[in-house]
Every structure is written in structure tokens, then in C-alpha cells.
Amino acid sequence: MRHSIETTKAERFYARMFVNKSKGKIIDNNSNNYWKYDIEDKEHRTVPFEKAFYKKDITETDDDDPVEDIYRTENNDVIFFGKQSKKWVTTFTSVKRNRLILEEWSVSELPALRLADSLNRSLELELGKPDSIITSIGKGFSNIMKGVPYKLEQIPGEIIKASIKSYKEDEKEPNFSINVKITRLDSETLNMNHFRVPEDYISIKK
């Protein structure tokens, strides 16, 4: 079983009314149940379980601006979960001089994160996703970058915070950014209520 929540927030005023949403998804492979819900509207709907199965992506991409150079730095940074972190900054520069900058913070292995990763992998395999493309929770972004001309050394340990920023040629402000951070790691006794939609949510059909 897996219960995930995704929150999208826009920094620009004109986009906030369209993308500021918090949505949840619950997949229970034991009972073949699949739910999606909207936290703001307190609505949920049942999704046919077949849609939870992995579907191969056959979309072909034509990259007319391939990566030309990769540069990485590293240094010790702040303490996370009582452990010294190391900050890695990886810069990808394309043929057209566009840049993709990845900032990642790693710490030594966290048992709770490894447990979560193992359980998530088991579910993904049950749903038909090939093991070769299942992404580890603490693997980070630069470790899974594909289509680059140079093989990057694997960042050791667990990536518990990351930032991605994309820049057009000679621009100082990013045209795209995303931030990810693990804020809590809890291991607790199984509570089935954590894998059910709240009772006060209204059931809808789409």
C-alpha cells in the first residue's frame, strides 16, 4: 500500500488560482483499490485499479540541445537528522549554453529511508514497473540523469534535499525551479486509517 500527497504552489500571482492544489493518491494492491482525492475541496473518487498498473512510455523525444559539459563541486554543509551533510552542485551546460543546476545534500545512510524505499519498490514491482527504472527515494536527481555525454560518479549516501534550476543562455533568473526536501522520517505501527480517504470527504465521479 502507498499513500502519497502532492502539493503544487505557484510563486507568480496570475498562476496561483490555477495550480495551488494539494492532492492525494492511495493505492492498495491487497484489495485492488485506487483512490484520488482533493484536500482543498474535500472530494475523492474511485479510480479503476487497472490504471494503477505501469504503462510503458513510448513517447519519443528529439533533443536538439544536448548536454555539452558537466561540472560538479562538493563541500560539507548543514546538519540534517543529526548527521553532517555534504552539498553537491552539478551544472549541466548545453550546446546552446542553457544551464541546468542541481543542488543536492547527502547524508550517510538513514535506515527509515531505506525501509520506505524497499516497501515502495515492492509495490512498484507488483504494479508491473521494471526494476531498472524504479527510482530510489534517496537517490537524487543527478544520479538518474540520462542522455548525458559523461558518466557522473554516484553521489554516496542518501539525498535528503535537492533543488533544480533551469536557466536560459545568459539569464540570471531561472525559468524553471523545483525543490524537494525530506522533512520527517517516522516508523510506526500500521494504522489502516492512514490508507483510507477521510470519511468526511465527498465521493464524486468523473
Residue 192 included in any domain: no
Q: Are 94 and 69 part of one and the same domain?
A: yes
Instruction: At 118, give phi and psi (nearest 5°).
Output: -65, -45
Q: Are 104 and 150 part of one and the same domain?
A: yes
Q: Are 16 and 112 part of one and the same domain?
A: no
pTM here is 0.77
The DSSP code for 170 is T
Residue 193 included in any domain: no
Q: Are 44 and 68 part of one and the same domain?
A: no
Q: Are 98 and 121 part of one and the same domain?
A: yes
Q: Are 68 and 160 part of one and the same domain?
A: yes
| Distance, CA of 47 to CA of 55 (rounded, Å) | 16
User: Under a CB-based contact definition with an 8 Å cutoff, are residues 52 and 32 in contact?
Assistant: no
| pLDDT digits 0-9 by tens, 33-84 | 999 999 999 999 999 999 999 988 665 666 788 888 899 999 999 999 899 9
Q: Are 114 and 13 part of one and the same domain?
A: no
Using the predicted structure, report yes or no on whether residue 15 has a pLDDT greater than 60: no
CA-wise closest residue to 65 among 102, 100, 92, 98: 98
| Distance, CA of 21 to CA of 160 (rounded, Å) | 24
CA-wise closest residue to 91 among 72, 74, 105: 72
**pLDDT given at position 19:** 61
At 30, list the grid cell. 491487497
Using the predicted structure, report yes or no on whether residue 110 has a pLDDT greater than 80: yes
Q: Tell me the percentage of the chain whose pLDDT exceeds 90.
A: 53
The DSSP code for 201 is S
Residue 90 included in any domain: yes
- Total domains present in the chain: 2
Q: Are 100 and 137 part of one and the same domain?
A: yes
Domain around 22 = 1-52
CA-wise closest residue to 29 among 53, 57, 5: 53
Q: Are 10 and 77 part of one and the same domain?
A: no
User: Under a CB-based contact definition with an 8 Å cutoff, are residues 3 and 195 in contact?
Assistant: yes
- Going by DSSP bridges, is the β-strand pair 99-107/2-8 parallel, antiparallel, or unpaired? unpaired
Q: Are 48 and 62 part of one and the same domain?
A: no
Q: Are 42 and 74 part of one and the same domain?
A: no
| pLDDT digits 0-9 by tens, 159-182 | 999 999 999 998 999 999 888 899
